[in-house]
């Protein structure tokens, strides 16, 4: 990671950088005719005020209520072939080319396979759930594509950028099994559609920075995000950051995952007034990713002592993880309250599994996360149902232990909710939702999110889901792939080297 130091825009240091880029003749001068105002002059303060007013206008008056990709707001889950993550189709460039990208709130960079040296297979025949080939991005084929040079603010001063005219390289290393993506940064347009209350029905072409991923390693060569990954994190290089800074939408977005594995993504969505919230926390003193603080875990009305911990909210993790000390308390209480016999099922990673009687899933104890803001999150689907030829044969508490003090709030916990990542207020929001299109009003969201799931809701969690071990591959290889996938996306920090 590179250290960060704040520099005033009109400091002597910043001036020297501008001279090195543009020449002294362009930079020197004062008043309205010069590019560099004299300190404490009227022009100096006029430019500062103008910038402040512009930034405030962007915050108060975004152009659109919300935006979504031109192919639609719907997300989809493609099973074990694609690591049990949620994906969506997006259009990039001119003319536009479609990519099926994984959604990851735990990382920042948006990258797609490009000028491939080593990429995952893109042919539909390689995947059981695709009916058409995936695409590879070629910057030379897009009239709106622009290479990012080493002089760009996202790249300058890096060790591998000695020449300011050189194209900016990048490497993203994930904390798992030597998994990475590398290539060059380019600018191109992201095609989006405005929300239902916006006057224009024309598509929006938003300039963003893209990782032209020519080489992938590890999990990215084994079916996870073969056509790219859309980073939704807090970093300056993420798509939500670009859309907000350009004034297109508010600095917020929402994700919604339904029990039938459908979902939605909306940029700019701030949620509804009745939603619950809890603040994001810094990690090691830095605001690097979406972390929330859990005060206590409750099984039904029994709130367990010493079960507070911090959780990374990450749509790029299929299932959820608790620190091992908390995990033991939660599973012991769940096991004490469940009215079912313990069992084990080959190929499944969870330790607390149970038999189903009469091919139906019995009512299971609720799992609730309590937060310091007097808010609570009742997990709609804490179990994973295992089906046989005659119906449900068992189910598992879909939580795993992890070393360390940081847990993961994965996709399975998000199911049944509109999850709002409000980056401006720096809070996580949630409300029960049917994940409908926001063109239908509030998208089926329910204001009172304190209510625990009903017995009917609990009886059919992820009703058609097939376990990773039986999704078209042999149990041994699939179980290995599933374990690899969860490790891949349970990342503590994202290391992005642009140089």
Active centre residues (catalytic): 104, 314
Task: Please name which of 203, 258, 213 lies closest in space to residue 72, comparing C-alpha atoms.
Answer: 203
Cα–Cα distance between 136 and 228 in angstroms, integer? Answer: 9
With tokens 């543009």, the residue in question is: 22
> What whole-number distance in Å separates Cα of residue 373 and Cα of residue 276?
9
Cα–Cα distance for residue pair 149/142, rounded to 1 Å: 18
CB 476 within 8 A of CB 217: no
d(CA 321, CA 335): 17
The strand pairing partners of 475, in sequence order, are none
Q: Which residues pair with 185 in a beta bridge?
A: 211
* Torsion angle of the four alpha carbons 333, 338, 340, 342, in this order, in degrees rounded to the nearest 10: -20
Q: Taking Cα atoms as reference points, which of 206, 192, 189 lies closest to residue 146?
A: 189
The whole-angstrom separation of Cα 264 and Cα 57 is: 28
Q: Tell me whether residue 424 is exposed, middle or buried, using C-beta atoms within 10 angstroms of its C-beta: 0 to 12, 13 to 18, 19 or more.
A: exposed
Q: How far apart are CA 103 and CA 434, in angstroms?
A: 19
Print burial letters for 325-351: b (CB count within 10 Å at least 16), e (below 16).
Answer: ebbebbbebbbeebebeeeebebbbbe
Count of other CB atoms within 10 angstroms of residue 287: 14
Contact 471, 311 (CB under 8 A): no
249's CB contacts (< 8 A; 6+ apart) are: 62, 63, 64, 65, 66, 67, 243, 267, 268
Give the span between the Cα atoms of 81 and 261, in whole angstroms. 15
Report the distance separating Cα 434 and Cα 442, nearest Å: 10
CB-based contact 480:223 (threshold 8 Å): no
| Residue for token pair 């948006």 | 110
DSSP class of residue 138 equals -
Question: CA 78 to CA 86: how far, in whole Å?
Answer: 7
Contact in structure between 70 and 191 (CB atoms under 8 Å): yes
Instruction: Please say whether the dihedral angle defined by the alpha carbons of residues 475, 476, 482 and 483, taken in this order, is positive or negative.
Output: positive
What is the distance between the alpha carbons of residues 310 and 321, in angstroms, rounded to a whole number? Answer: 11
User: Which DSSP state fits 167?
Assistant: B
């Amino acid at each position: 990671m590179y250290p960060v130091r704040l520099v005033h825009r009109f400091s002597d240091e910043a001036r020297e950088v501008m001279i090195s880029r543009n020449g002294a003749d362009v930079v020197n001068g004062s008043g309205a005719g010069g590019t560099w105002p004299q300190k404490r002059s009227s022009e100096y303060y006029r430019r500062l005020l103008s910038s402040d007013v512009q930034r405030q206008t962007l915050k108060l008056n975004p152009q659109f209520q919300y935006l979504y990709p031109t192919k639609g707001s719907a997300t989809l889950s493609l099973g074990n072939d694609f690591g049990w993550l949620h994906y969506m189709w997006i259009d990039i460039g001119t003319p536009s080319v479609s990519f099926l990208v994984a959604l990851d709130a735990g990382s920042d960079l948006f990258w797609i396979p490009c000028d491939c040296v080593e990429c995952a297979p893109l042919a539909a025949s390689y995947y059981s759930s695709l009916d058409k080939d995936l695409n590879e991005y070629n910057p030379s084929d897009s009239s709106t594509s622009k290479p990012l040079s080493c002089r760009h603010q996202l790249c300058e001063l890096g060790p591998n950028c000695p020449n300011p005219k050189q194209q900016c390289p990048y490497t993203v290393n994930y904390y798992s099994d030597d998994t990475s993506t590398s290539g060059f940064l380019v600018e191109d347009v992201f095609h989006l559609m405005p929300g239902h209350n916006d006057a224009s029905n024309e598509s929006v072409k938003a300039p963003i920075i893209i990782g032209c991923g020519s080489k992938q390693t590890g999990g990215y060569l084994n079916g996870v995000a073969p056509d790219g990954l859309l980073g939704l994190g807090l970093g300056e290089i993420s798509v939500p950051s670009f859309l907000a800074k350009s004034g297109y939408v508010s600095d917020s977005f929402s994700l919604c995952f339904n029990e039938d594995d459908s979902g939605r993504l909306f940029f700019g969505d701030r949620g509804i007034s009745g939603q619950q919230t809890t603040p994001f926390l810094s990690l090691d003193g830095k605001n690097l990713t979406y972390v929330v603080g859990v005060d206590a875990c409750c099984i039904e009305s029994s709130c367990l002592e010493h079960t507070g911990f911090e959780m990374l909210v990450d749509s790029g993790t299929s299932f959820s993880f608790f620190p091992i000390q908390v995990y033991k308390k939660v599973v012991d209480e769940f096991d004490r309250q469940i009215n079912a016999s313990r069992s084990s099922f080959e190929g499944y990673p969870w330790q607390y599994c149970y038999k189903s009687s009469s091919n139906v899933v019995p009512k299971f104890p609720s799992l609730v996360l309590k937060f310091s803001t007097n808010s609570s999150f009742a997990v709609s689907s804490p179990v994973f149902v295992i089906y046989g030829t005659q119906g449900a044969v068992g189910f598992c508490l879909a939580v795993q232990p992890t070393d360390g003090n940081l847990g993961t709030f994965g996709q399975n916990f998000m199911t049944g909710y509109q999850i709002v990542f409000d980056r401006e207020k720096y809070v996580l929001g949630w409300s029960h939702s049917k994940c409908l299109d926001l063109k239908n009003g509030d998208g089926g969201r329910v204001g009172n999110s304190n209510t625990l799931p009903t017995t009917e809701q609990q009886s059919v969690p992820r009703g058609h889901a097939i376990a990773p071990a039986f999704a078209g591959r042999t149990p041994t290889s699939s179980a290995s792939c599933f374990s690899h996938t969860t490790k891949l996306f349970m990342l503590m920090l994202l290391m992005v080297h642009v140089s």
